[in-house]
Amino acid sequence: MQITIELPENLALYFQAQLGTAQYPTLGDYIQALVIEDLTRKAQLESKLLEALDSPATPMTDDDWDYIRAQVRQNLGQANPRA
């Protein structure tokens, strides 16, 4: 399979830095690792959602909302490499 992608310069530099390392010696190894990580993350999420559906509902507390807000802020910071 052949794939062509265009990346902004900052992501291209990061991508190039990952290649040639012991962990990702080739482009294929890096892409494969990303796909496997995505599949694993989705399977874990589905498992957690199914588990939550089977558990009793509890009221949300202020601490619950604070935790959710902190997680969202952390995830947004990780998703934006320029932040």
Summarised one tens digit per residue, pLDDT across range 14-53 is 888 888 788 888 888 888 999 999 999 999 999 999 999 9
Identify whether 4 is part of a domain: no
Reported as type and span, the H/E element at residue 17 is helix 9-18
Q: Is residue 67's pLDDT more than 60?
A: yes
Pairwise CA distance, residues 23 & 17, whole Å: 11
So what's the pLDDT on residue 20?
79
Model pLDDT, residue 83: 47
What percentage of the chain reaches a pLDDT higher than 70? Answer: 94
**Does the pLDDT at position 62 exceed 50?**
yes
Written as one string, the DSSP assignment of 33-79 is: HHHHHHHHHHHHHHHHHHHHHHSPP----HHHHHHHHHHHHHHHHHH
The answer to the question of residue 2 being in a domain is no
Domain count, the chain: 1
Domain that holds residue 63: 9-79
Question: What does residue 80 show for φ and ψ, rounded to 5 degrees?
Answer: -110, 95
Which residues 6+ apart lie within 8 Å of 31 measured at CB?
Answer: 3
